[in-house]
């Protein structure tokens, strides 16, 4: 299994980011209820050569892998050693063929949630479209059947119940980013609020 729990070194910080406390629980944080998603398909559109509609088997076929990752919530808790299985963002970007003028990405979710990141900050091996947690299908409360995880950012950058990935030629703001949360969301720099 690929272990990316050392990625704090890239950001010059300790494994536990400043102002965070470690928990062994896995709290659920959602802006509303848990939507039911029977048939997960992921739409990919915007500044790409080929818009895609991908099923879970399609995602699997792009090259799924298991990764050990830490999970940092902006409200102050961190859960170490989450084992997610999914497909890394770069596999999907390669498949869609990202246009030269794409600079930013918006993730869309079934509960109406959105979140945005610069393309360079989500085109990373540890950004996963994940459907398994700790060897089990991803629980619905945690975003099952399909979510994004962003261990190098606060977890609001990882859309649960993800429905779409939109490549943008100009930055736009997601749900929490419009409401004052940081676009950067770097836990080691404590970029919590804009």
Ligand X SMILES: Nc1nc2c(c(=O)[nH]1)N[C@H]1C(S)=C(S)[C@@H](COP(=O)(O)O)O[C@H]1N2
- Closer CB to ligand X, residue 93 or residue 149? 149
State how far the Cα of 147 lies from the Cα of 139, in Å rounded to an integer.
10
Q: Which of residues 3-32 bind ligand X (CB under 6 A)?
A: 27-31
- Closer CB to Mo ion, residue 74 or residue 102? 74
Q: Which of residues 93-112 bind ligand X (CB under 6 A)?
A: 109, 111
State how far the Cα of 53 lies from the Cα of 111, in Å rounded to an integer.
19
In degrees and rounded to multiples of 5, residue 80 shows phi and psi of: -85, 155
Residues 6 or more apart whose Cβ sits within 8 Å of residue 45: 51, 52, 164, 165, 166, 167
Would you tell me how many other CB atoms lie within 10 Å of the CB of residue 17?
Answer: 19
State how far the Cα of 95 lies from the Cα of 92, in Å rounded to an integer.
5
- Closer CB to ligand X, residue 98 or residue 122? 122
In the stretch 141-180, what mask flags binding to ligand X with x, by CB under 6 A? Answer: -xx-----------xx-xxxx-------------------
- Closer CB to ligand X, residue 25 or residue 49? 25
State how far the Cα of 17 lies from the Cα of 134, in Å rounded to an integer.
23
Q: Which of residues 109-148 bind ligand X (CB under 6 A)?
A: 109, 111, 113, 142-143
Q: Which of residues 16-35 bind Mo ion (CB under 5 A)?
A: 29
Q: Which of 65, 119, 52 is nearest to 92 (CA)?
A: 52
* Chain residues in the site for Mo ion (CB under 5 A): 29, 73-74, 156
Binding residues (CB under 6 A) for ligand X: these are: 27-31, 73, 109, 111, 113, 142-143, 155-156, 158-161
């Amino acid at each position: 299994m690929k272990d990316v729990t050392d990625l704090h070194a890239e950001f010059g910080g300790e494994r536990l980011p400043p102002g965070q406390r470690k928990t062994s629980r896995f709290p659920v944080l959602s802006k509303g209820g848990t939507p039911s998603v029977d048939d997960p398909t992921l739409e990919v559109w915007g500044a790409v050569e080929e818009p895609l509609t991908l099923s879970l088997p399609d995602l699997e076929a792009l090259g799924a892998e298991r990764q050990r990752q830490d999970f940092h919530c902006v409200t102050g808790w961190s859960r170490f050693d989450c084992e997610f299985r999914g497909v890394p963002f770069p596999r999907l970007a390669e498949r869609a063929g990202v246009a030269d003028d794409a600079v930013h990405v918006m993730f869309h979710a079934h509960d109406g949630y959105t979140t945005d990141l610069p393309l360079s900050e989500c085109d990373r091996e540890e950004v996963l479209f994940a459907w398994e947690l700790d060897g089990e299908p991803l629980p619905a409360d945690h975003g099952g059947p399909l979510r994004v995880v962003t261990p190098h950012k606060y977890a609001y950058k990882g859309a649960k119940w993800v429905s779409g990935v939109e490549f943008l030629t100009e930055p736009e703001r997601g749900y929490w980013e419009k409401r004052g949360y940081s676009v950067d969301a770097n836990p080691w720099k404590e970029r919590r609020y804009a």
